[in-house]
Amino acid sequence: MKETKFRSLIKSISWRIIATIITTSVAYFLTERIDTALEIGGLDMIFKLAIYYSHERLWGIIPLGRKSHPLEDINLTKEINHEDKEIIKNKLKELGYIDE
């Protein structure tokens, strides 16, 4: 199963919000200046959001550690016809999912 670009983007944004809160908090703890902490947190968010999104998309195309769906190699027409149903049924039999 491939992740959509939208899903990768939403995951990137949600993680960056959490990570930026942490970074901004640490920057404030170290500097005791809210303006400096917000600048550091903002720059951190922008750069790391772009880098994480790219990283996520790259891993989306790397098959390492992925399990494929047992039916993903079956090419179907847009509308599933009788022939397509037979192909699916035979593949499921072959994989041991159904007995007939």
Chain centroid to CA 2: 8
Q: What's residue 75's pLDDT? A: 73
Contacts of 13 (CB under 8 A, 6+ apart): 49
pLDDT digits (tens, 9 = 90+) for 5-59: 888 888 888 988 999 999 999 999 999 999 999 999 999 989 988 898 899 889 8
More confident residue, 51 or 100: 51
The confidence band for 71, taking pLDDT boundaries of 50, 70 and 90, is confident
Asked if pLDDT for residue 99 goes beyond 90, the answer is: no
Instruction: Please give the torsion angle defined by the CA atoms of residues 58, 63, 79 and 98, in that order, rounded to the nearest 10 degrees.
Output: -150
> Distances from the Cα of 4 to the Cαs of 7, 15, 46, 69, in angstroms?
5, 17, 21, 17
